[in-house]
Structure 1
Amino acid sequence: MTALEMGMYELGRLFLVPVLVIIMALFAYAFYALGAFALEAWQRRRATAPCPLQHYQARAGKADSEELELVILRQLEPLRVVSRTAPMLGLVATMIPLGPALLALGDGDLATVGEQLVVAFAAVILALITASITFWVLTVRRRWLLAALKRLEQQGGTA
C-alpha cells in the first residue's frame, strides 16, 4: 500500500469507535422515544392525553397555523434525523471493519475475519432497528400532531 492508501485506511479506522458509540446512543434514544410514544398512546386510549399543541398556543397567545406547524416540525425533527442518519451510520460501521476483514482473509486468518464481520453486522442491525423504531414513531406522532392542529383550526383556536 502507498502512504496515501495507508493514511486513508488508518483515518477510516479511527471513525469506527465514534460511529459505534453514536449508534448505541441513537439506539437508546429510539427506545426512549418508543417509551414516550407508548405513554402518549396509553393516555390517548384513556382520553387523558392533553392536546400537544395547547401548551405552545397558550404560551404564545393566539398562535397561527404556520407557527404551530413549525412547532410540530421542531418536535418531530429529532425523530426524523435519527430515522434517516441511523442507516447511514450503520453502513459506515459495516464498511469500516470490512477492510481489516479482507486483509485478514488474505492472510488466511479466519478468526479475525469472523470477529470483524460480527462487529459489522451487529452495528448495521442495531442501526436498522433504530431507524425502524424512530420512523414508525415519527409517522404516527406526525399524524397525531396534524390531527391536533386541525382540531385547533376547526375550533377557531388559531389565527
Structure 2
Amino acid sequence: MTKILHAASQSLLIPVILGLLFFLVIAFIELGAFMAEAKRRKANKPVNMMEVFHDVGNIAPWQMKNLQQVIDSCSLLPRQKRPLTDLLAKIYLSTELKKLIARDILDREEFRAKKVLGKTDLLAKLGPVLGLMGTLIPLGPGLAALGQGDVRGLSEAVIIAFDTTVAGIAAGAVAALISKMRRRWYEQDLGNMELLLELVVGGETRAVQENEAGPAVRRRS
C-alpha cells in the first residue's frame, strides 16, 4: 500500500509543475489586464458623488437634464453609464418595471464583477497549494537519495522544491493583490450605480406625473 501511495504522489509532480507554469502565465495575463484597467480608471478620474451633485446645482431627482449631467460627470466607466442613460430615457415605463430593470442592471454588473474576481480569487488560493505540493513531492526521493549518499539527487530535489514554492507563492500573491484592488473598485462602482439608479427610478416617476398633469399644474407648483 505504501508503494502505491508513493507512486501516486510522485506521479503528481509533472501535473503540479505544469499547473504552476499555467498559473504563472494566467497571473501575468491578469496583471497586464489589471494595469490596463488601472490606466483607464486613472484617466477617468474618480469623483465624490456629493461634489458632482453640488457642481450640477440644486438637483431635483425628477429633472432629467440634471440627472444626465450627474451620470456624465460620475466616475463610472462608459460601459456602466450606458444602461443608466438608456433607463433615464424611458420616461413612460411604470415604476415597478423600472425597478425591475434597475435591479437587473445591478445584478448583471455584480455578476460581471464576481466573474472577473473569481479567476484571481481562485488563483490566489490554488497557487500556494500547488506550490506546497511541488515542495513536498520531490523531498521524499531527495531524502531517500540522501540516505544512500546521493547528494546530487538531494540537491536536484531541493531545487525543484524551492522553484515550485516560489512559483506558487508568486502566482498567488499577484492574484491576491489584483483581487484586492479590483474588489475595492467594483464595490465603489456598484455603490455609485445603485445611488444613480435610485435617482433615475424615483426621478422619472415624478417626470411622468408632471407631464400627465400638464403645464397648468407645473405653473401652480
Pairwise TM-score range, normalised by the shorter structure:
0.7 to 0.9
- State TM-score, norm by structure 2: 0.64
* Structure 1 residues not aligned, in runs of 5+: none
Q: Which has the larger radius of gyration?
A: 2
Q: Which residue identity does 1:19 align to in structure 2?
A: V
- State TM-score, norm by structure 1: 0.87
Q: Residues 40-80 of structure 1, C-alpha deviation per residue, up to 9 Å, x if partnerless?
A: 1111111288356557888x954254453333212211111
2:168 counterpart of 1:127:
yes
2:36 counterpart of 1:35:
no
| 2:83–2:105 CA contact under 8 A, matched in 1 | no
Residue in 2 aligned with 1:153?
194
2:158 counterpart of 1:117:
yes
Select the structure with the greater relative contact order (CA < 8 A; seq sep ≥ 6): 1
Q: Which residue identity does 1:94 align to in structure 2?
A: T
Residue in 1 aligned with 2:139?
98
| 1:20–1:93 CA contact under 8 A, matched in 2 | yes
| 2:23–2:127 CA contact under 8 A, matched in 1 | yes
Residue in 2 aligned with 1:87?
128
2:185 counterpart of 1:144:
yes
Supply the distance in 2 between the matched residues of 1:55 and 1:93 (Cα, whole angstroms).
47
Residue in 2 aligned with 1:13?
10
> Displaced runs of 4+ in structure 1, greater than 4 A?
51-58
Name the SS for the 1:108 alignment partner: coil
Supply the distance in 2 between the matched residues of 1:98 and 1:86 (Cα, whole angstroms).
19
Shift in CA distance, 53/95, structure 1 to aligned 2, threshold 3 Å: farther
State the Cα distance separating 1:86 from its structure 2 match.
0.7
